[in-house]
Amino acid sequence: MARLTVIRPSLVWQPASALFERCLPSSLFGRLTLLLFAVMLLSHLLALSLLFELYPRPMGPPLPKPPSAQQTQPPSLDMPPAQMLLDIGVRLGAMLLAAWIGARWLAAPVKRLAEAAQGLAAHIEGPPLQESGTRECREATRVINQLQRHIRLQLAQRDQFVAAVSHDLRTPLTRLALRAEALHDAVARQRFCKDITEMETMIRGTLDYLRGAADPEPLVRLDLAALLDSVVEDQQACGHPVWLAQAPAASGTCTVRAQPIALRRCIDNLVHNAVRYGGHAEVACFMDAQQLRVSVSDKGTGIPIDLLDQVLQPFFRLEASRHRHTGGLGLGLAVADEIATRHGGRIHLNNRPGGGLCAELTLPRVI
């Protein structure tokens, strides 16, 4: 029995499109030149066809005119005005249409490259970009892929360096802590232990910040309102004056695409900063059609206006916060801002009119 083979149109179209792509010039300049040449040829043929269709010329030799008519009539133009306007209009319309089609045709590979590069910026561990399109686009894609491999190599080397530094620094700190416990003077022992604990906290904070940018935690859909409730409950369980002032009424409407642990760390840092320097933290959540806003407010002394942007930089501390019992490392707000940027959001700091600081986290909302 004969077997019937069905050929799908898509299977035929793909080799045909690949053959057409190979026949085209490989550069943007070559494709634009080919397009303009084809348009000029087609517009010329179209204009001539319309002229012969609308203004047909009589067959045979022209009829002789009387001598009196030849003397009185002025010499006629080779092409009447109507025919001239039609010819110009057809050619101009063809050129405008070609310019529109050519712009879209030549911009399509660049647009695909920009979209792919944008996705690569959000996920550096993703697959390399496909090298396609014109020669210029393929060269740009090749450079972006090389840059991605270089960045991934740098991140891997940084992780190895951080792991080595963490081990090398914690080992002598552990020996110092054991030796401090053997001191007979209770006051000296307490001071040594306090300095060692403070140094260990500084090392842990610095290493955690260095690890943060390469966090492999996957992105998931997350209910931001539930996360805020959990953060506030944990803070209250620790005895901190933190409360949730406002949250969206409808559950399930505060959905974001985020890394849960990283986003929780971001909000925890904002709350800890408010409690440490403002005495309490008032958390509120607002939403609109495009984004979600989480505000953490306190009633402390605030921050000078000219330093509002600088406090988001790593290891930057205000003079008033450098007290060894209350001052931090200058990493809390920097880590929060880095996590917010990684999620497509931002952190804005503003001084409240009645005193205190308001840290606002904006995140894109997932509908």
Beta-strand relationship, 291-297 and 281-287: antiparallel
User: Which residue do the tokens 């059609």 mark?
Assistant: 289
What's the N-to-C CA distance of the chain in angstroms?
Answer: 56
- Token pair listed for 248: 């969206």
* pTM for the predicted model, two decimal places: 0.53
**256 membership: H or E segment, kind and range:** strand 255-258
pLDDT at 14: 56
Exposure string over 308-343, b if 16+ CB within 10 A, otherwise e: eeebbeeebeeeebeeeeeebbbbbbbbbbbbbebb
Contacts with 281 (C-beta within 8 Å, 6 or more apart), sequence order = 235, 240, 241, 242, 243, 270, 271, 274, 275, 296, 297, 298
Lowest mean pLDDT among 63-72, 195-204, 219-228: 63-72
Contacts with 117 (C-beta within 8 Å, 6 or more apart), sequence order = 129, 144
State mean pLDDT over 350-362. Answer: 89
CA distance 337 to 213: 11
Contacts with 236 (C-beta within 8 Å, 6 or more apart), sequence order = 242, 243
What is the identity of the amino acid at 301? T
CA distance 332 to 340: 12
Residue 318 or residue 215, greater confidence: 318
**15 membership: H or E segment, kind and range:** helix 9-23
User: Which residue do the tokens 């955690």 mark?
Assistant: 208
CA distance 359 to 274: 9
State mean pLDDT over 262-275. Answer: 89
CA distance 50 to 44: 10
User: Which residue do the tokens 């925890």 mark?
Assistant: 268
Q: Does residue 97 sit in helix, strand or coil?
A: helix
CB 361 within 8 Å of CB 263: no
Q: What is the CA radius of gyration of the chain?
A: 36
Q: How many other C-beta atoms can be found within 10 angstroms of the C-beta atom of residue 232?
A: 20
- Token pair listed for 209: 């910040």
Task: Give whole-number Cα distances, 83 to 95, 96, 105, 177, in Å.
Answer: 18, 20, 32, 99
* Homologous superfamily of the 220-364 domain (CATH): Histidine kinase-like ATPase, C-terminal domain (3.30.565.10)
CA distance 195 to 201: 10
pLDDT at 319: 54
State mean pLDDT over 335-341. Answer: 87
- The CB-side HSE value for 218 (13 A sphere, CA atoms) comes to 3
Residue 274 or residue 37, greater confidence: 274
| Residue 178 reports pLDDT greater than 50 | yes
Biggest alpha carbon–alpha carbon distance for the chain: 139
| Residue 206 reports pLDDT greater than 80 | no
pLDDT tens, 251-268? 557 888 888 888 988 999
Contacts with 90 (C-beta within 8 Å, 6 or more apart), sequence order = 43, 46, 47, 50
Nearest partner of 138 among 109, 118, 107, judged by Cα: 109
CA distance 354 to 150: 49
Residue 194 or residue 349, greater confidence: 349
What is the identity of the amino acid at 111? K
Q: Percent of the chain scored above 70 by pLDDT? A: 71
pLDDT at 20: 62
CB 51 within 8 Å of CB 85: no
- The CB-side HSE value for 169 (13 A sphere, CA atoms) comes to 16
